[in-house]
Structures are given as C-alpha cells and as structure tokens.
C-alpha cells in the first residue's frame, strides 16, 4: 500500500487530535474524536513493527524453552515446552503470530513459576534469562508518548 499506511494513519491521528477535536461540540464527542485520533496514532506505530516484534519475541521465548532442557522440570511441563520450542512462525499474519505468541507466553508463565525458586545454577541462569526477555519485550512494545 502506498502511501505507507503508518504515514497515513499518523497523519489522520494528528488531524483528528489537533484540528478536528478542538472544533467539535459537545465536549464528550470532542473527547471521543481525540481518543480515536490517539488510537490511530498508536496503530500507526504498530503497523510497521508488529510482525517483526512478534517474530522476535516468539523466537526469544522458544530459545528460553530450549534452555529449559538443561533444567529438570516435571514431565508434563517439560513435554509442553519441548514441543513449543520446536515450533516456527510459518504464517506471518499478525493474527497468526499473536495466536502463537499467546500460547508461548502462557507456557512461559508456567516455566517461570517452576524455576524462579530453584537455586541450582541452570535454573538461576534460566530465571535471569526469562527476566531479561520480559524486560526486552516491554522495550519492543514501547511507543512514543507512553506515560512510562
């Protein structure tokens, strides 16, 4: 699509927030238009990066699951993370990547809970790696204008 959708959405966001909303009455509708503009602006930021962000995140979580093979997990959890570690993102539509990401992050919660209280070196290393990835994931998801 040309012009690039992120540029188009970003322009429309600015138009709605800065030009249209201040001229709209009643106040509530002006607020709705302003919020709609903000949403377009966030969608513009996400448009270009969403697939890249999700592929990187899914890849990173699968890496954590491979690392978990060095940790003695209970059989069910070990089987679950081993199966997920072998997956790959063949379908690059955002909805497909999100669906895979949801499954990976749900399993990551179980893995994290299983290793975080262990004291052996492999578990501590995995715990630190999980935290590092969680922190990195928030950097990937950050957007301009975030409150924090």
Partner 1 sequence: MAELSEDRIAAYAASRLPGARDVAVSGLARISGGASRETYRLRLRYVDADGRSVERPLILRRDPPASLIETERHIEFAAYRAFHGSPVPVPQMLWLEEDPAHLDYPFFVAEELTGFESSPGALTGEAYDPVREKLGRRKWTILGEISRADPEALGLTTVMAKVAPEDCWRRELDYWEGVLDEDEVTPQPIIRAAIRWLRANPPPPAQKISVVHGDFRTGNFLYDAAGEIHGILDWEMAHLGDPLEDLGWGLNRIWCWGQNDLRGGLLPRDQAIAVWEQASGLKADPAALHWWELFNCVKGQGIWVSGAKAWSDGETRDPILIISAWRMFNPQDRAALELMGRL
Near partner 1 by CB under 8 A: residue from 39, 83, 92, 121:
39
Residues in contact with partner 1, total (CB under 8 A)? 29
Which two three-digit tokens encode residue 131? 């935290």
Q: Is 147 in the site for partner 1 (CB under 8 A)?
A: yes
Distance of CA 107 to the CA centre of its chain: 15
Output the smallest distance, CB 106 to partner 1, in A.
4
Separation of alpha carbons 82 and 39, rounded Å: 38
Q: Is 121 in the site for partner 1 (CB under 8 A)?
A: no
3-state SS class at 74? coil
Q: Is 118 in the site for partner 1 (CB under 8 A)?
A: no
Q: Is 36 in the site for partner 1 (CB under 8 A)?
A: yes
Q: Is the Cβ–Cβ distance between 40 and 13 less than 8 Å? A: yes
In the complex with partner 1, the residue whose CB is nearer, 91 or 116, is: 116
Separation of alpha carbons 97 and 115, rounded Å: 26
Q: Is the Cβ–Cβ distance between 18 and 10 less than 8 Å? A: no
Q: Is 131 in the site for partner 1 (CB under 8 A)?
A: yes
Binding residues among 94-113 for partner 1 as defined by CB under 8 A: 102, 105-106, 108-109, 112-113
Binding residues among 5-34 for partner 1 as defined by CB under 8 A: 26-28, 31-32
- 33 by Cβ neighbours in 10 Å (0-12 / 13-18 / 19+) ranks as middle
């Amino acid at each position: 699509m040309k012009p690039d959708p992120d540029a188009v959405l970003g322009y429309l966001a600015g138009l709605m927030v800065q030009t249209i909303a201040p001229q709209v009455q009643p106040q509530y509708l002006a607020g709705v238009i302003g919020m709609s503009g903000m949403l377009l602006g966030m969608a513009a930021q996400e448009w270009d990066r969403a697939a890249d962000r999700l592929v990187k995140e899914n890849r990173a979580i699968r890496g954590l699951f491979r690392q978990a093979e060095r940790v003695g997990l209970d059989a069910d959890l070990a089987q679950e993370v081993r199966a997920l570690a072998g997956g790959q993102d063949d379908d690059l539509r955002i909805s497909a990547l999100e669906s895979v990401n949801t499954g990976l992050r749900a399993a990551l919660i179980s893995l994290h809970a299983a290793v975080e209280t262990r004291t052996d070196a492999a578990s501590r290393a995995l715990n630190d790696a999980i935290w590092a990835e969680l922190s990195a994931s928030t950097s990937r998801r950050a957007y301009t204008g975030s409150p924090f």
